[in-house]
Structures are given as C-alpha cells and as structure tokens.
Amino acid sequence: MNSDSDLQIAGDILEVPHLLQPPREHPATVAEFVGLARSLAADRSRWEHLVRYDASSRWYHRLRAVPRAPGSALAGEPPVGYEVWLLSWVPGQGSGLHDHGRSSGILTVLQGSLTERTARGTRTLTPGTERVFAPGYAHEVVNDALEPAVSLHVYYPGLTEMPMHPAAPHSGTRTEPRTPAARPAPARPPV
C-alpha cells in the first residue's frame, strides 16, 4: 500500500498557476474557485473603489452572489451557488473564533496583513496569501497590524451560517461580543 498522497506526488495545485483553470460563472472545483478569487483580487478596479473603513465595526460588501448552476440544486438547498465578499479590517478588529457551517471557502488578503488563529497555530496572511478551507473549519481572523487590511472571501455554497466558538482561555484569542450558536448570513460580516 502506497502512503504517498496526491500532494506529495504532484505538489500543491495552488502553487502551480498554469494549472489553475480560468474562472467561469459556475466554478466546480477548488482550483476553479481559487482561479476566481485570484482573478477578482487582480482586478483592483472591481473592488478598490468599494472599500470603506469603519472603526466601530468591520465593514463588508457582497461583491457577487451567483445562483447554483441550472439543475444542480437539490431539494431544500439554498439557492445561492456561491458568494464573494469584500471585507475591511482596521487595526485591532477581529472575527472571533468561528466556522462557516456547511460552506467551504477561500480567504485572500488583498491589502495589509491579517493574523489567522486555529487550533493548529497562528499564521500571518499577507497580500496574495490564500487560505482554502472545508466546512466546519474553525478559525479567527484578526488585524494585529498597525495598518488597515482588506480581504476577499469566496463561499460555496453561499454562506448561510457562521457558528461562533468559545475561545480557549489560554489561546490568546480575542473575541468580540457575539450571540452563541449559528446565525444567518449576512447579519454579521462574513469571514
């Protein structure tokens, strides 16, 4: 039995730009969603004029909400195939520890830097950095820098909940006051 994974054999497809397929209206693979995020991130004219900074709460703007491809929705599923959100973060703003319910996602930093904290550790996300995550992935995103930051988020299926998690007392995780349990989106800014 061979224990080599596809990543060990072929490498990370996200690190091989020529393998990424151009974005299409209804992406169907992780690589296509990453291509969509990269395409939107590279087109500053689509998002830069929309960015606002708000010291009292995180600012967010839905850039795109695309319905599911015709015939792809199952009974009872949300009608939104995927959503793209633009968020700004002034120094000190954070998301609190949360997951994205049944949505997968891609977080791309457009300007500034953000800190992502997970059970596995902490990492600094800088412009061009992408984080791809599956349903149930719990993290906290915070602007620990002295300059504002901007990020782009793609969710598939469209974000319908964002359950908050209690922060571990020794984790150093800062949280904003939140109501417990899942909440419908976009009542609060997505992350």
pLDDT, one tens digit per residue, over 98-143 is: 999 999 999 999 999 999 999 999 999 999 999 999 999 999 999 9
Give tens-digit pLDDT for 64-76. Answer: 999 877 666 566 6
- Please report, as a single letter, which amino acid is at residue 82: Y
Number of Cβ within 10 Å of residue 78's Cβ equals 16
CA triplet 6, 11, 14: central angle to 5 degrees?
A: 110
Distances (CA, A) of 20 to 29, 36, 98, 154, 156: 10, 10, 29, 16, 18
For 2-54, the pLDDT digits (tens) are: 444 444 445 555 555 555 555 667 788 898 999 999 999 999 999 999 999 99
pLDDT at 87 over 90: yes
pLDDT of 88 reads 98
pLDDT over threshold 80, residue 185: no
How is residue 140 annotated by DSSP?
E
Instruction: Give me the count of residues in the chain.
Output: 191
Residue 160 near residue 185 (C-beta atoms within 8 A): yes
Counting Cα atoms < 13 Å in the Cβ hemisphere of 76 gives 0
Mean pLDDT for the stretch of residues 60-64: 96
Tell whether the model's pLDDT for residue 144 goes beyond 60: yes
Reading the block at residue 77, the tokens are 């599923």
